[in-house]
Structure 1
Amino acid sequence: MEVLFDILYAAGAVLLLILGLLGCVVPVIPGPALSYAALLLLLPSRFAPSLGVCVWFGIGCAAVLVLDTIVPALGAKKFRCSRWGVAGCIIGTVIGMFFGLLGLVLGPFVGAVLGEIIAGKNFLESMRGGFGAFLGFLSGVLLKVVYCAVCAGWCIYAFCEVMFDV
């Protein structure tokens, strides 16, 4: 009976990991949180992570979620956006979350461009700031993918360790 529950926990964890990776690009699915939930789901099984692993992955999940919000603004700042452009990028990111994938991709860009225009910059300078915000958005997606892949890698390692007595 214990083996059956281990299989169910593992299947649930695999499902959460797949959803987590999907959530890296689909805005309504919280990818890193689902990948972390996959690790926590394994706690009552033979594949259980240690407390230290749970804590470190939890800290990593929180860091990724925070960084995913501010990285577009950092990208905009790197491309010499004004404070208005950075604020517009952050506002655009938050508003873009409500408009699906297209809103999430275009929100930081449009917000930074509008912020730069409000700051009195010309259109070309405003577009440069928007491009920086877009690169920041892509960096945030990459960060989420890396976190979810590391979670998946840890789970695969745990499965192999138990199943093959590595």
Structure 2
Amino acid sequence: MEWLLIIAGIVLAVIGIAGSILPLIPGPPIAYAGLLLQQLRNDAPFGTGFLIFWAAIVVVSLVLDYFIPIWGTKKFGGTKYGVWGCTLGFIAAFWLGPWGVILGPFAGAFIGEMIAQQNSNIALKAALGSFVGFLAGSFLKLIICFFMLYYIVTAI
């Protein structure tokens, strides 16, 4: 039974790593489930404080995953129109699968900036900021999931 829990935890952490790159799979929560599975072993390897700490990190990463593309749009010179476009583009394209989640905020920020300024260079720069924000969020989730995989493996 121990090995089944260990293998399941590692598999969940690997799925979490894949989910950090694939937009519709919630990577950190799945990897966290792998940590929680380890607690069912005969000798629970993690303390309550450790699990609460990682639960908080997972929640923060989920919240940041929605706000980092918006921040990227602002950082690259986007206006309120670009930020709103990025947000609405994410919501509208979320249902279109992985490409929608990647391209929706980009297209929304671009359209919002075009409405606001009618300057395609500035609009493209703001849209690029939303894409950079998406990449930054994915990288953050990737790091979190790799750490959880590390803790699962070292707990063996």
Return the TM-score normalized by structure 1.
Answer: 0.89
The runs of at least 4 aligned residues of structure 1 exceeding 6 Å deviation read none
- 1:66-87 deviation per Cα after TM superposition (whole angstroms, max 9, x unaligned): 0011000100100110011011
Partners of 1:25 and 1:101 within 8 A in 2: no
For residue 141 of structure 2, what is the aligned residue in structure 1? 144
Question: Unaligned stretches of 5+ in structure 1?
Answer: 160-166
Q: CA RMSD in A?
A: 1.1
Cα deviation, residue 28, structure 1 = 2.3
Aligned to 2:30: 34
Look up the match of 1:16: 12
1:64 is displaced (CA, Å) by: 0.4
Matched with 2:92 is 95
- State the alpha-carbon separation in 1 of the partners of residues 118 and 155 from structure 2: 54
Which whole-Å CA distance do the structure 2 matches of 1:95 and 1:20 have between them? 25
Shift of 1:11: 1.2
Say which SS state the counterpart of residue 23 (structure 1) adopts. helix
- Look up the match of 2:58: 61
> What residue ranges of structure 2 are gaps of 5+ in the alignment?
none
Q: Hey, what's the Cα distance between the residues in 2 that align with 1:97 and 1:17?
A: 24
Flag the structure with more relative contact order, 1 or 2, with Cα contacts below 8 A and sequence separation at least 6: 2
Q: Is the 8 A contact 1:47 1:158 kept in 2?
A: no
Partner of residue 104, structure 1: 101
* Larger Rg computed on CA atoms: 1
Equivalent position SS for 1:24: helix
Tell me the TM-score normalised to structure 2 length.
Answer: 0.94
Deviations 1:114-138 (A, max 9, x none): 1111213411110010011110010
